[in-house]
Amino acid sequence: MTSPITTHILDTAAGRPAAGVAVTLERCRGDGSWHAIGTGTTDGDGRVADLMEPGSLSVGRYRISFDVGPYHDGQGVRGFYPDVSIAFRVDAADEHYHVPLLLNPFGYSTYRGS
């Protein structure tokens, strides 16, 4: 069984997955503060599949943060964004949420994947 929240990063400037990027998953508490609930590093395919335990998802606000500065440095590029954070809402705890990041040194985009 896989994590209910997964992600991957595609380096659109290089045309390949972004490996070795540190990723943190957080959940928003009732007081508005964020609490880390999972961490990982993108694999050779740019994916992190085990950010949280299966069956542990609950309705609420979540945030995935990507430490992309070191990745860009390793590519010999000075990126504009040292990190990227994506906040999203989980409305159904029985669904899978895939949150990909399309990255280049001067921009990024995201969408709800499948």
Q: What is the CATH number of the domain that holds 90?
A: 2.60.40.180
User: What pTM does this model have?
Assistant: 0.94
Question: pLDDT per residue over 33-61, tens digit each?
Answer: 999 999 999 999 999 989 998 888 999 99
pLDDT score recorded for residue 101: 98
Task: Estimate the share of the chain in helix, then strand, then coil, as percent rounded to the nearest 5.
Answer: 5, 45, 50
The residue assigned the tokens 């990507």 is 66
Angle at 6 between CA 2 and CA 10, to 5 degrees: 135
Nearest CA among 68, 74, 73, 76 for reference residue 108 = 68
Domain extent for 86: 5-110
pLDDT at 1: 56
- As a whole number, mean pLDDT of residues 84-108 equals 96
Number of domains in the chain: 1
